[in-house]
Structure 1
């Protein structure tokens, strides 16, 4: 099925967003919340038209032979539309960071100094597949006082167009200008690349998707980038792990939603644990239909395991397959994570507090878990509402990026004629 898209003027859209961001920054929390509630209701009321548009994207996906993981990310149903509408309502209930006084003090000369949270301005959002990001990112941007320019992937063009259409129509009856939400309605890569260099109109770019997309933005953009990362996440089962706890945590992290970035991709097991609980672990993996790509020890001990290649350690499976490594010391597990991890989410399962302390202290990642599933690296699960992405970098923001991550600070001084 072909898609005919009219030429777009990305610069003009960015300029409209920039103008709207100035007005948006002056609105009250109540006015912004009212807009989010209005959008949420409109999305639910237009579920059928959104699903009809999504059906076109799914048909294209089937024709192109997209795998099950990709089709899952692309798919919408009534429940998912309701979920991202409810996500907007959750964001509306959260504290508004914009205008918050972070700190204040008075100098000896009487000059009053404040640091105040303010919106970033205009957010450029570049993403693949997941149409829910269109609503999630918009809600977070508007609540924090930012305008947003959306550039979704070509595979979700119909879904994104429908969702944005509903949102802009809803905004027309609110205090927020519909121009605060811009959608680049094009499948041309050149339109995406234009965003990379619009530093005079776009304040920050947030790429969300596969590693190739993220690196293309990071390596080519002159606009500052808030880098989100792929999730090559590991579960390390220590020699002192509780077997029931360990197996349940791994199965949840691997099988709950295998195609998401906080799903586990590699299972690292201490040899002493395996010696004691091999039958229980192998039975659980088999029942869950988990495919194993293991090191030499794992291939020898796990029935049906295939030899792991370098790509199996380094890349996301986004499926029920997993890499399996056997170690005889916690430091071997940490070294492996240092080598192959993407600084997203890493977990240790152990009843040994010293081992947990060592793991949490030495592993470099945005989220570290002790005796819990990596599936909690999520804005909603951590109480932020919908997140705009999960940052794996260290500057400005790290981990699930909720409302505060979409603000910066401004120094405001109040004086009475002071001069220096």
Structure 2
């Protein structure tokens, strides 16, 4: 949308009031219509995305970013289906999460209400344009979208499609505001609007997250890097562990829930690690190991301390051998990013110990890290995976875009009876 960032934010705040008043049925119908429109306009969206991809390749953008940027017919259908899944979810707005009777005779309720205006700042992910819009609207919020320059055409095509549905429904298109000005100065202005914007969620590289966190006056929930680990325990089923490893590393290495480090208990390292290394090399994964791992698999390169803390977002994996579950936990605490951690084990006690020891937003037991995703965890879609311990932690769906307030229902009670007017 054209105009100053502040003017755009004010328009979004005004439109958000309209969205907050919509019924559940009206919001769900709106989202289903948006899904239909995305599929109907797929040709236009894909043409815009093709231009973005050409420009990105000419700029020399890396493969991980290109994979996040790319759309095809299947991905457009997936985006539309995510909107339908959000429509099918329970409406969080108006949910009474707690109700109790006071000793003074009134009822105390905690009720979910919209946050207000949510700003998304993101890079090279055109699907976020639709996902963020759907989740914010479902939760009764307005949304301001500030995408990256590499996806500018794709984002405009998707936003235009969704705004068209808002207009057709008789609603203000300003409830979904895609900013035209992609300058850093405009982004800084957006981040200062604490009286208008209620929450900022940045999604992108580490540099973007740090910039937003350090400069925003608006509360920020960080979708920080995903340095995700798989720990293969001494009592792991090695066949299961290998499947979890291959899926976690190779199914989509550019995703933030892809594995970046494999830790193997010394008792099973000789049986597991050479087999795993062969399977990974067949899938073109570059392996970097500690000294003990390289002794078992000499073709591995050496892994530095920095490597173990790196989110590669590519077919590269660090490997370490540990002497105990506690050593694996200590390694993860030192190098992890509080995103997603996985243990492969048939020992229930070891699994529970691992779960309780991890501070990460998502912990998996005998399941791939790739399930750390809002759609897979029942949220329909996600607006991000929070690694910030505020009101939301882990994949964030519509419920995470609301807050609880108190509603008190009484019958004339007063706190200080002496303040009552005297009876005439």
Q: Which residue of 1 aligns with 2:28?
A: 33
Moved more, 289-298 or 269-278: 269-278
| 1:189 paired residue number | 184
Query: 1:303: Cα distance to partner?
Result: 3.4
Question: What do the CA deviations read for 1:305-363 (whole angstroms, capped 9, x no partner)?
Answer: 11112331111111111001111122111111001100000011111222212211212
1:112 alignment partner in structure 2: 107
Give runs of aligned pairs for residues 209-358 of structure 1, distance below 5 A.
209-358=204-353
Q: CA deviation at 1:175?
A: 4.7
8 Å contact kept, 2:213–2:220: yes
The structural deviation recorded for 1:120 is 0.4
Instruction: Decide which of 173, 191, 197 is 1:202's aligned counterpart.
Output: 197
CA distance in 1, matches of 2:189, 2:108: 39
Q: Deviations over 1:81-135 (max 9, x none)?
A: 1110111111101000001111222323332322110000000101111100000
Residue number among 361, 364, 367 corresponding to 2:359 in the alignment: 364
1:146 to 138, 141, 144: 141
User: Are 1:9 and 2:11 counterparts?
Assistant: no
Residue 101 of structure 1 corresponds to 96
What CA distance in whole angstroms lies between the structure 1 residues aligned with 2:161 and 2:115? 25
Find the residue that maps to 1:15 and give its secondary structure: helix
Q: Which residue does 1:405 correspond to in 2?
A: 400
Aligned partners of 2:340 and 2:361 also within 8 Å = yes
- Of the structure 1 ranges 271-280 and 208-217, higher mean CA displacement relative to structure 2 is found in 271-280
Scaled by the length of structure 1, what TM-score is found? 0.96
Q: Which moved more, 1:107-116 or 1:14-23?
A: 107-116
2:70 matches 1:75:
yes
What is the CA distance between 1:162 and its match in structure 2?
1.0
Q: Which runs of 5+ in 1 are unaligned?
A: 1-5
- After TM superposition, the score normalised by the length of structure 2 is 0.95
Structure 1 residue runs of 4 or more that deviate by more than 6 Å after TM superposition: none
Q: Counterparts of 1:276 and 1:31 in 2: how far apart (Å)? A: 57
Indicate whether 1:160 and 2:155 are aligned.
Answer: yes
* Residue 125 (structure 1) aligns with: 120
Report the Cα distance in structure 2 between the residues aligned to 1:47 and 1:271, rounded to whole angstroms: 51
Shift of 1:419: 2.0
Deviations 1:56-103 (A, max 9, x none): 111111111112111110001111111101111111010000011112
Partner in structure 2 of residue 134 of structure 1: 129
Give CA-to-partner distance per residue, 1:157-213, whole Å, 9 cap, x none: 111011111111111011532110001112211111111110111000011111111
Query: In the alignment, which of 28, 43, 46 is matched to residue 48 of structure 1?
Result: 43
Match of 1:87 in 2: 82
Q: Is the 8 A contact 1:267 1:322 kept in 2?
A: yes
CA distance in 2, matches of 1:300, 1:374: 27
Q: Does 1:416 align with 2:411?
A: yes
Distance 2:292 2:177 in 1: 53
Kept in 1, the 8 Å contact 2:2–2:179? The answer is: no
Say what the alpha-carbon RMSD is for the aligned residues: 1.4
User: What is the CA-CA distance between 1:278 and the residue it aligns to?
Assistant: 4.1
Between the aligned partners of 2:136 and 2:284, the Cα distance in structure 1 is: 40
C-alpha deviation, 1:264, in angstroms = 0.2
Q: Please list every run of 5 or more consecutive structure 2 residues that lacks an aligned counterpart in the other structure.
A: 416-424
